[in-house]
Amino acid sequence: MTNYFLLNLTYSLNLQNFWYNLVDGEITCLTALCFLAIATIMAIFGGAIGGILLAGKDLAYSVATTIGGLLGMAGVVPTVAIALVVLKFIV
C-alpha cells in the first residue's frame, strides 16, 4: 500500500514540476515559498546560536536563544523575499 502511494505521488504532474523547478532553480510561487521557508528555518537556528554565543552568560541561555531566534529572522526574511522578487523579474 505504501509503495503504491509513493508511486502515485512521484508521478503526480504538479509535484514532479515542483521538484524539477526546485532543482533547476526556476523561481515560481511554490519554489519561492519553499526557499523562504528554508531561509527562515536557517535564520532561526543561526540567530539562536548567535544569541547563545553573545549573551548566554549575561542573560539566561533560554532567553538568549529565544531573542536570538526572533531577531535572526528580522533581517533575513525581508531580504530573501526581496531577493526572490528581484531574481524572478530580472533574471
Model-wide pTM > 0.85? no
Q: Quick check: 81 pLDDT over 80?
A: yes
Q: State percent of the chain over pLDDT 90.
A: 43
pLDDT digits (tens, 9 = 90+) for 36-55: 999 999 999 999 999 999 98
* Distance between CA atoms of residues 1 and 78, nearest Å: 43
Across residues 59-85, what is the average pLDDT? 91
Q: Which three cell numbers stand for residue 6?
A: 509513493
Please give the Cα distance from 59 to 55 (Å, whole number): 6
Q: Is the pLDDT of residue 2 over 60?
A: no
